Amino acid sequence: MALLEVHDVNSGYGELQILWDASMSLEPGQLTTLVGSNGSGKTTLLRTIMGQLKPWSGSVIFDGEDVSKLPPYTKADLGLIMVPEGRQLFSSMSVRENLEMGATPKRARAHMAQNLERIFDIFPRLAERADQKAGTMSGGEQQMLAVARGIMSEPRILMVDELSLGLAPVLTLDLFMALRKLRNEGLTILLVEQNVRMALKVSDYAYVFNEGRVNLSGPSSEVENNEEVRRAYLGI
């Protein structure tokens, strides 16, 4: 059974509708990517899943339960965690303090020490900078920290919005490989990403979003070879 199911969700801002009958599902232990052009509604879908926006209609089912109307903090306690675009770190706090802030859900508090050790194994650079203020690090290091803070929450599903935005290629590769490692450890991941080529390479399943709707989905290798996707997103 899918761990997360989104059924015919309509949503938006004020009277402006962004999502039109959007549907998708996440299988446990898979890395699923959501790709599409700017303004296609990808971030709006994540915010609606997370509860930052209320769906106008349709439903969000998490582990068999309808969570459509639950607030974000309740969903976080259940294990649905979002790493937002723009990182939103506590810039005047240290790396370690930012990571500790990630362990606020009840399910994560008791395992803070083990999870810190795990984070420093996945991201050795954060271990080296544990006492450095987050705001003084490079953009790539801050993105590592944002993802790591999400992992500290012991997510059952980790949703990452625009992982590689504005990052150097070498750091982008490191972050994608870190997500792949987490997936190999059994974490279910939903990745929203503009680097379509890399996202399709590292993911198991893909949805192509356009004008607030899913217009193509399938195993990532099949989506990558789709002629429309190759022309529109891969420049082939």
Domain 4-79+156-232 homologous superfamily, CATH: P-loop containing nucleotide triphosphate hydrolases (3.40.50.300)
- pLDDT-derived band at 18, boundaries 50, 70, 90: very high
Q: What is the pLDDT of residues 101-150, one digit of tens each?
A: 998 888 788 889 899 999 999 999 999 999 999 999 988 889 989 999 99
- Tell me what the pLDDT averaged over the chain comes to: 91
Q: Which residues pair with 145 in a beta bridge?
A: none
- Report the C-alpha gap between 128 and 167 in whole angstroms: 20
* Predicted model pTM: 0.92
CA–CA distance, 165 with 192 (Å, rounded to integer): 11
Domain positions in the chain are: 4-79+156-232, 91-153
The pLDDT value given to residue 235: 61
